């Protein structure tokens, strides 16, 4: 097939010379010339027919300089241009090549050989450029159309390019992202350990390793998102790492679902444990009060007439106490079951703690039949907070009941409440029997009781309930105790808690 050469030259002598020099070439049958004298005509020709190469004079009647190249490239981007210049125009010719012309030839110095070679090379280079362009287009399509975030990095971690999916998300901070070390970008640089992790990952990938992990980064909205992140090295034919490809996928939603499923599973396991513990202990815990009730009712039924008024009252008292103990146990089990089934909710509301604690102590002193003194300390100022009153009630009544129950009659029990910056500190103290060291770590487990309780009644559920109430408030609990000296429980709760949990 013959190649079509478009010669754009207004000087007919120069044009003839060129056409002639190619006609003498042994391959002359391979060429066919179209000769025009103006740029306008040349552009028309490019629009209308296929041309393999353009020989372009830079000084034409309707165009002078580099503008002609630009116009031609707009009309026919893949047609190679070889520029023809005069002896004193070499500077402009070099600029023409920088603009995309394939080569330049200086008039008066053109030999047939030189011209043939320039044309052939120009066509070949354009073919290669076209193939590269097509390959680049295919790469771009994959790089930009994927839903994954992709970044190309130099082996030392400098961001070279990012794909469209990431560019869309990072639009507001794109400039700061490109050409910076990836660990210094906002997404990765928000915390020192993450920066260090990324530096190590880059170093490992630069050594040829593939790195993959689940990691948290900072989104443009300022929230932490989970990414499934991988870093792969790309090697050249000498096995040298020349590029790192970072890929990531936002897996925050999946993580959330996983965490919820795990939480449900844990709740279910705790509930099952509670149920089996309850079954295991109920035979004992219910048998004792039920035996008391049966014996007392039998006595009252059969020998009521022989009993004194005081004796009868004593039996009734025993029946009520046994019923109260069973009800207490049922209440505690039901409450814990509710927590484990996710049914006990944290519902904060404004609460003034000074008045609330005064009232609670008053009620407690009336209802417990002990002769303990509850000493309440708090600041003179009202302590205003936002807490769940029902959870605070379970927490304080259980701890104060323990302090009373496990310290000698007539003893004193202290409740201190005060504010510490944005927290409220509750401290419940007694000078009772204390708790042996080996028991202390198990006290918050359900049905656990220390080995020094003797005949003091209890089911071992109170502290487990207290712990759940503290956790629902996102607070902290600490217990310190010495046998024979006493026990102090300290609880720190956020004064205003925004987060809600179940
Ligand atoms: P209940 O479920 O009725 O409260 P309980 O008091 O036995 O029964 P917890 O309140 O959970 O159960 O306490 C667990 C154990 O911790 C108690 O059995 C007791 O051994 C020990 N304990 C708790 N508070 C004190 C305290 N103030 N002094 C000494 N021992 C304590
Ligand atoms: Mg208790």
pLDDT of residue 502: 40
Query: Residues near ligand 1 with C-beta < 6 Å?
Result: 332, 398, 402-403, 406, 430, 432-435, 443, 449-450, 453, 458-464, 487
The answer to pTM > 0.75 is no
d(CA 481, CA 466): 17
**Domain at 349-494: CATH code:** 3.30.565.10
- pLDDT, one tens digit per residue, over 166-202 is 888 888 777 878 899 999 988 888 889 999 999 999 9
Cβ count near 160 (within 10 Å): 12
d(CA 455, CA 432): 15
**If you measure from the C-alpha of residue 123 to the centroid of ligand 2, how many angstroms do you get, rounded to a whole number?**
93
- pLDDT, one tens digit per residue, over 111-123 is 888 888 999 999 9
Q: Where are the domains of the chain?
A: 3-142, 147-250, 259-340, 349-494
- Residues, CB-to-ion distance under 5 Å, ligand 2: 402, 462
Closest ligand to Cα 456: 1
pLDDT of residue 28: 65
Tokens read off for 354: 């000074």
d(CA 158, CA 218): 19
End-to-end CA separation in angstroms for the chain: 80
The closest residue, in CA terms, to atom 25 on ligand 1 is 402
d(CA 340, CA 270): 6
Listed residue (69, 64, 63, 62) closest to 103, CA to CA? 69
d(CA 428, CA 405): 13
**If you measure from the C-alpha of residue 385 to the centroid of ligand 2, how many angstroms do you get, rounded to a whole number?**
26
d(CA 169, CA 183): 18
Closest ligand to Cα 448: 1
Q: Is the pLDDT of residue 27 over 80?
A: no
**If you measure from the C-alpha of residue 463 to the centroid of ligand 1, how many angstroms do you get, rounded to a whole number?**
7
Residue 499: which pLDDT band, with cuts at 50, 70 and 90?
low
Q: Is the pLDDT of residue 459 over 90?
A: no
CB 220 within 8 A of CB 167: no
Pick the range with the lowest mean pLDDT from 155-159, 169-173, 206-210, 464-468: 169-173
**Domain at 259-340: CATH code:** 1.10.287.130
The closest residue, in CA terms, to atom 17 on ligand 1 is 449
Which atom number of ligand 1 is nearest to the Cα of residue 448?
14
**Domain at 3-142: CATH code:** 3.40.50.2300
CATH top class, domain 147-250: alpha beta
pLDDT of residue 219: 84
CB 215 within 8 A of CB 226: yes
């Amino acid at each position: 097939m013959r190649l079509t050469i478009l010669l754009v030259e207004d000087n007919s002598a120069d044009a003839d010379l060129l056409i002639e020099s190619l006609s003498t070439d042994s391959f002359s049958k391979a060429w066919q010339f179209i000769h025009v004298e103006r740029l306008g005509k040349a552009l028309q020709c490019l629009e209308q027919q296929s041309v393999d190469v353009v020989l372009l004079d830079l000084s034409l009647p309707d165009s002078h300089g580099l503008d002609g190249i630009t116009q031609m490239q707009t009309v026919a981007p893949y047609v190679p241009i070889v520029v023809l210049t005069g002896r004193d125009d070499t500077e402009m010719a070099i600029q023409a090549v920088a603009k995309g012309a394939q080569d330049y030839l200086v008039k008066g110095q053109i030999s047939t050989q030189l011209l043939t070679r320039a044309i052939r090379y120009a066509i070949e280079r354009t073919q290669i450029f076209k193939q590269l362009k097509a390959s680049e287009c295919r790469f771009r399509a994959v790089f930009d159309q994927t839903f994954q975030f992709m970044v190309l990095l130099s082996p030392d971690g400098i961001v070279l390019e990012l794909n469209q999916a990431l560019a869309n998300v990072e639009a507001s901070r794109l400039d700061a992202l490109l050409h910076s070390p990836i660990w210094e970008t906002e997404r990765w640089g928000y915390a020192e350990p993450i920066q260090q992790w990324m530096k190590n990952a880059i170093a490992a990938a630069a050594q040829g390793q593939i790195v993959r992990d689940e990691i948290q980064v900072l989104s443009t909205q300022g929230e932490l998102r989970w990414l499934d992140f991988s870093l792969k090295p790309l090697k050249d034919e000498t096995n040298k790492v020349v590029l790192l490809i970072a890929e990531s996928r936002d897996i925050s939603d999946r993580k959330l679902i996983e965490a919820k499923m795990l939480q449900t599973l844990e709740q279910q396991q705790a509930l099952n444990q509670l149920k089996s513990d309850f079954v295991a202990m109920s035979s004992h815990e219910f048998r004792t009060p039920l035996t008391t009730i049966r014996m007392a009712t039998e006595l009252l039924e059969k020998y009521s007439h022989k009993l004194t008024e005081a004796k009868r009252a004593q039996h009734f008292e025993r029946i009520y106490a046994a019923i109260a103990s069973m009800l207490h146990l049922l209440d505690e089990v039901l409450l814990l079951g509710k927590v484990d089934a996710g049914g006990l909710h944290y519902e904060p509301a404004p609460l003034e703690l000074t008045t609330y604690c005064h009232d609670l102590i008053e009620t407690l002193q009336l209802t417990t039949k002990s002769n303990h003194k509850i000493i309440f300390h708090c600041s003179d100022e009202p302590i205003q907070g936002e807490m769940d009153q029902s959870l605070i009630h379970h927490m304080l009544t259980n701890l104060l009941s323990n302090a009373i129950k496990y310290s000698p009659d007539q003893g004193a029990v202290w409740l201190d409440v005060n504010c510490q910056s944005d927290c409220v500190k509750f401290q419940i103290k007694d000078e009772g029997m204390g708790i042996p060291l080996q028991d202390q770590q198990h006290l918050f487990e359900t049905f656990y009781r220390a080995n020094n309780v003797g005949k003091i009644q209890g089911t071992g559920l109170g502290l487990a309930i207290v712990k759940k109430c503290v956790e629902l408030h996102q607070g902290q609990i600490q217990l310190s105790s010495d046998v024979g000296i006493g026990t102090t429980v300290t609880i720190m709760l956020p004064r205003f808690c925004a987060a809600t949990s179940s």
